[in-house]
Amino acid sequence: MADLVIGGRRASPHRVARAVGFLIALLVVAFVVAWFIYRRSVSYDEPGGTAPDDKVVVARDQPGLTQLRYGQATLGFVGDLRVLRAAGDAHTLGAAQGRLLADRLAAAVASMAPGLDAAVGEGGLFSGTHGMRVAWRYRFIDDGLPEDQRRVVAGIARGAERGGAEIDFEDLLRDQAALDVAMPAPWSSETRTHVVARSLTVVAPQATAGRVWIGRSLSLPGAGEGGEALAASAVITFFKPTGKLAWAGVGWAGLAGAVTGINSEGLAVLVDPARAGDVRATRTARPMALLARAILEQCTTLDEAIKLADQTPTLGAAAFVVVDGKSGRWALLERTPSRLVVTRDPPLSAVGDLLTAPPFADDLENDRGRRMLPTVDRVARAARLTKAPLADVAAVAAVLRDRRGKDDAPLPDGHRAAIADASAIQTVIIDPAAMTLWVADGDASARFRAFDLRHELRGDGDRAAPPADIPEEAEPAGAQARAIRLARADLRRARQALLEDDLDRAIERCGRALARVPTLPEALQLEGELARARGDLAGARAALGQWLDNGPDDPGAAEEVKAQLGR
């Protein structure tokens, strides 16, 4: 009877199978299309070009000077510092950098990778999708770079390949944005503060009117190795790009931009990375270090630098210090992705890794830094020491080697409010009027090597005639700096063990750090936290009490500990 009903249709297993087949085919097609769209969205357009196939040879162009030569580029050593000199177009400069620094590139890129991963996080609907989410998060980075700067990065990757280092263009490109958008590595000392870099720049008057000294310290405690790999690959570059201004920079292998530099016109640019609430990785904008490079290559005056910074949105936030060596005038450019605040000839002679202009007072990330970082005290101490004119470069070095608090009281070894930073990956002095550069061969206690920028950038004179180096400090200072670096390495291993739920190994590693530097604030703080995790409340009170009594260098945590201890 059912067959006689109008509109009735006999059930057919073939029709059901066909419908299911169509549905599966549609899903497969949709997945394939979505996959190709995803791959196109996250892929970077790598500029064309080929690294020269020249051999790296030993060159002895001058008596007593032995260098490595690759094409027209050279790499020499002054102490433990690498000195790279190159000229040509963007790709040629990058290829020279990649080829001659190939032995250090992989470690430098790997040092920044944990911070870029940490910014993405480990969560996700499906396991094994972390790499896809990393690619998706950073999919717009190449769009923020002009063609010539992408060619620099491509040249570094191809030069490194010539040198036997397997560095992907994608990884190297993301590495340029680490100072902008990365978070601290999970085992670093800065996970609570969200800070990757710790920096200080001072612009101090000289005894000669109209001239200034520039002092500079930069460390990367939030990097995977605490900046150790970057310090080991420190390089001084003297670049002469075709059709642009020659410039000198102090950086590390793999850095295509500039964080500390000066050009042939005496215009110096120094980048102090900061945190701001409007920073987003999924934005088409220029990484800060690459904006600094553009200023060095294109600008001759403060006004030109300010105009370029205003026209160029940045991916991250930073305080750019721009100094005109000819006039002795300088400006503080506080830049976030959405705003630029310019202060000409600021009242304070020191700048740190915080934004200080009134428009940033309500920024939550910047406010976090004010409450949790020792930057305020560090800047205050530096400003006090450089308020009066400094007679000579030795006086500038003494400021960068200072280890006292803002009230002149001595600070514990390794205190993060001290100007001298044992973990610094670069400590630099510049006399922009005399076109002279000094770079520490290690931390601030080490010997400062001198360079003649007039010869290096302008070609003045038959050969370089730098002033005398600045001698290293007495051995106790250098030995203590080495002990602090080793102790901090032990603390990173302790935090890694804690992340793996190995409390016993974490306690042992923390103990090793304290054995090296018994008053290191970071070690005492971690000792108290580990004792509390073990249930040893008396031990936790003792360690944290000693941390408070010696002088804590984590203001945010200090308030919490005081409340817990009833102080």
Q: What is the pLDDT of residue 302?
A: 97
Q: For residue 547, what are the CA distances in angstroms to 175, 365, 407, 474, 494?
A: 36, 26, 19, 28, 18
Q: List, in order, residues 6 or more apart from 121 with CB less than 8 Å away.
A: 133
Q: List, in order, residues 6 or more apart from 300 with CB less than 8 Å away.
A: 245, 263, 265, 267
Task: Check residue 140 and report its DSSP letter.
Answer: T
SS (H, E, C) 161-199: HHCCCCCCHHHHHHHCCHHHHCCCCCCCCCCCCCCCCEE
Cβ neighbours around 556 below 10 Å, total: 16
Per DSSP, what are the bridge partners of residue 266?
Answer: none
Q: For the chain, list residues with pLDDT below 50.
A: 1
Residue whose C-alpha is closest to residue 177's, from 253, 81, 256, 118: 256
Q: What is the pLDDT of residue 63?
A: 72
Q: Tell me the C-alpha distance between 161 and 401, whole Å.
A: 39
Q: What is the pLDDT of residue 337?
A: 96
Q: What is the pLDDT of residue 1?
A: 45
CB 79 within 8 A of CB 447: yes
pLDDT tens for 480-513 read 999 999 999 999 999 999 999 999 999 999 999 9
What domains can you pick out in the chain, each with its CATH number? Answer: 198-220+266-278+288-452+467-473 (3.60.60.10), 480-565 (1.25.40.10)
Q: What is the pLDDT of residue 134?
A: 86
